[in-house]
Structure 1
Amino acid sequence: KYRWVNVLGWACLVVGFGLLSLLDQSTSTGKWVGYQIVAAAGLGFLVRLPPMVFPALAPLPVSRTASALAFFSFSRTFAQTWGVTIGSTILQNRLDKTLPAQFGAQFPSGVQIAYAAIPVIDNLEDPLRSEVRDAFAKSLRVVWLAMIVMSGAGLLSVGLMREVPMQKT
């Protein structure tokens, strides 16, 4: 039985990303750590190989498992690449729109502000520091909302998964 692990994993991701979308610049450490634990639990259920591989291998004869595993590994890597690309693009585009102009002007054109700005933020004077932190929180919220949609699609996809008895030999 492997469907329940997939349902639990995707459900934890939907809830975890939903909780992360509630964060703002003044959220307590306990909350943001706890919210990450919920999302991490979902990832833990899904990223571990067996729950995701069993549905792909169960209906196949043993002679086809090598090619199925190779395709599974390719698909997973391809999806992870797109996930990182989509998430970072959303974050960068939102930061371009929400960061104060005086802050964004200190970075050369084409720089990934999401990464270059982090070491600079603590050295800023208020109110600029608060504005930048608020822009990051609002931009990350859009990333979390996109992740809710993607995780929801993953949860719905479990409905298409058949529970095939696994071979014992």
Structure 2
Amino acid sequence: MSLLFVTTNAGKVREARDYLDADVTQFDYDYAEVQSDDLGEIAARGAREAYEAAGGDDPVIVDDSGLFVGGLDGFPGPYSSYVEDTLGIERVWELAADLDDRAAAFRSVVAYADGETVETFTGEVPGRIVAPRGTGGFGFDPIFEHDGETFAEMDTEAKNVVSHRGRALASLAEWLAER
């Protein structure tokens, strides 16, 4: 089976190849991202659009992820990329630093579209917001701690073992195996 992963991030493609028994190819396509509080809606709409743009030969997968901070009522959630670009991780840390509830979760929804069906698969990893630590990863990794270590302190392999995207991809892999 061949799958097109709609992303500009080659690291995400490598991660998908680790989980999926498929030929995963990167498809660089900038779909129109619907504004929604629901990661599943965003990913599903993107997958439908990308499938059409790719010509409808191979199924596509799209992932949408976000950081959800409990004490901030889930902010930044699906707006994480925009918040990182505009506020930055230091300012998000400052918002969370004095909260009683710094529990957080990284969530990812991977949407699969093949022209007949669109299915979504969710992965989540729990953690908490901490002062920035570490030099690896990207995005909010330096302020997201899971089991005593920030994602930025983990090497790529260790992070992928527990990642929210990996958990969503594992669910997709199970679903594909049952088809």
Normalised TM-score (structure 2): 0.30
Normalised TM-score (structure 1): 0.31
Q: Which is higher, the Rg of structure 1 or of structure 2?
A: 1
Whichever structure has more helix as a proportion of its residues is 1
Q: Which structure exhibits the higher relative contact order, with contacts defined as CA atoms closer than 8 Å and separated by 6 or more residues?
A: 1
Whichever structure has more strand as a proportion of its residues is 2
